[in-house]
Chain A
């Protein structure tokens, strides 16, 4: 699933509120505990981390660099592959649509829900959140139905756009928008829950004093609530960007509903990497593409952890 788990978020806040990772550095009752015990407790996890987190990265870099064509030639091959640039253009277009609409709509909907009575808001949040249970192939299939003008409950909308048949809807030019809708449908509800939680952390006195000063609901939302949840909006954007670059499930599953049109088997970079690995056994070029994607994901994660201050002390 390309949409990052919304669940990953609040815990960032948890630690941000709680203080520093290194809190344990101070002298505390643990000072007397044995130093080797710690290694024992983390042993299984460290073994898994080494085998399944670090080794694959090192091996992919090694494969990408150890092509018989010479140092770096796999990267040159990948960049020169005629499918490489279009794949990145596709996901850029998809992310442009998805990130802009997701940011506006998640923030807008959360602010609206926050103005409703607690219980009414909870019902809406629950309804928005439920599609999050359908990750992976399931949500794509649901949208296959929704995009099929002959069966969809949204058929009237599809007809407005002049789509009478399924293959009209999934025309290549529509794919970025379609994947954006799918990603929004499964992911937005989780983010709304997260943002709502962040809004609830705003001190009540602050909102009250704004009201006394004459701010209406709209102004309060814009000038008080929005700046206070800004870092969560940035966090959502960055995580979504990182996830979006990895797009794979949606084009792959949609592609299996061929109907004569078909979605290219190398629509996204991850698909291209898998395509060259599985069709040509070209593990070197596949490794080179996946290293490019890894570097993107790693860089974003590292910036968030070390520069974003989201997980550090207040």
Chain B
């Protein structure tokens, strides 16, 4: 009797897993197939049917040319904010992690504790206070209102701290000092070359966090020409006929988009992050678990 029961449990487990696989993955498949169809085909054809490459090209063209190539402007803005923020995050976090892990100074432990608290606290809790402050400082509407907050990345500092305190042998640094190297030279010529993996990891996480951020640019930008793609996507919903029919009375001058166009825009918006997720998955997961398996 034991064997059939065990089989029954395994079958139930498999059914549950397949159910959740559908839940997690069907939306992704649907998203990538939608731009190959026209809005009409989307309603009549199977959700998993492939339309045609011709339609895909047309959809892509409509999205790119929408409202004077707005999508390209947003893409450029996203790139400026994200790369700017990432560069600042890396430049600040890598030496800070090194300093916290391998040098001594008064207030080191306090700085570590504050870093941890800010890292765990949801970043969104700071958005409105940041808005109020940036407004007061007169930086509202400038690229600095986004690049500076994106560059403040306590999680990166923490990652770098963990990396430097666990992988760089202290004796190596001590030997360099005995040989007469100054503190900067020790960092620049010994620690930094060994830190390449953590530089790319911090850079990647900072980039994803900036690229995907919606709330901060939503409050910091007021004109379509400043939007990053995440905020631009929201404007596209307003131009999508089936989600906002009221906006499209007869003779309206607003450019009408359809569901496949919106899906295409989403794909453009997520492509950079998704590519890294797909091709660097192993590195990412091992990075996420960095140190966890090493005792």
Contacts and interface: CB of A to CB of B under 8 A. Distances in A.
A142 B113 contact: no
B102 A133 contact: no
Candidate in A13, A141, A155, A193 with the most chain B CB atoms within 10 angstroms? A141
B104 A10 contact: no
Interface in A205-254: 216-218, 239, 242-243, 245-246, 248-249, 252-253
B218 interface: yes
Interchain residue pairs A-B with the least CB separation, the first 5: A41-B99, A29-B174, A38-B105, A14-B291, A153-B47
Contacts of B214: 1, 135-137, 248-249, 252-253
Contacts of A97: none
B233 A52 contact: no
B122 A245 contact: yes
Interface residues of A, number: 130
Nearest to A39: B105
A76 to B, nearest CB: 19
A126 interface: yes
Interface string B20-60: 11011111111100100000001100011000000000000
A4 B154 CA distance: 14
A96 interface: no
B262 A56 contact: no
B262 A141 contact: yes
B233 A126 contact: no
A10 to B, nearest CB: 5
Contacts of B66: none
A253 B266 contact: no
Category for how many chain B residues contact A: 35 or more
Interface in A106-137: 108-109, 112-113, 115, 124, 126-137
Interface stretch (A67-75, A81-89, A172-180, A283-291): A283-291
A146 to B, nearest CB: 5
A153 B48 contact: yes
Contact of A133 (B112, B118, B136, B270): B270
A59 B290 contact: no
B224 interface: no
Contacts of B218: 252
Contacts of B116: 301, 305, 311
Nearest to B238: A256
B177 A33 contact: yes
Contact of A59 (B122, B129, B171, B230): B129
B101 A35 contact: no
B71 interface: no
B288 interface: yes
B213 A1 contact: yes
A92 interface: no
Given A24-B108, A115-B13, A242 B121 contact: yes
Contacts of B108: 24, 38
B42 A128 contact: no
A148 B281 contact: no
Contact of A305 (B120, B124, B242, B292): B120
A188 B269 CA distance: 22
Candidate in B13, B106, B240 with the most chain A CB atoms within 10 angstroms? B13
Interface of A: 1-2, 4-11, 13-15, 17-18, 21-24, 28-42, 44-46, 48-49, 51-53, 55-57, 59-60, 63, 105, 108-109, 112-113, 115, 124, 126-138, 141-146, 148, 150-155, 166, 185, 188-189, 193-194, 197, 200-201, 216-218, 239, 242-243, 245-246, 248-249, 252-253, 256-260, 270, 273-274, 277-278, 283, 286-287, 289-291, 293-294, 296-298, 300-302, 304-306, 311
A91 to B, nearest CB: 12
B209 A242 contact: no
Contacts of A18: 162, 165-166, 291
Contact of A141 (B135, B149, B154, B266): B266
Contacts of B165: 18, 23-24
B121 A56 contact: no
A123 B238 CA distance: 37
A229 B119 CA distance: 22
B136 to A, nearest CB: 7
A1 B212 contact: yes
A18 B165 CA distance: 9
B195 interface: no
A14 B174 contact: no
Nearest to A155: B47
B197 interface: no
B289 A30 contact: no
Contact of A5 (B95, B205, B292, B293): B205
Contacts of B17: 109, 112-113, 124
Given A24-B104, A252-B214, 8 more contacts: A11-B158, A38-B100, A59-B132, A152-B30, A201-B293, A286-B132, A297-B125, A298-B125
B125 A42 contact: no
A40 B183 contact: yes
A42 B98 CA distance: 8
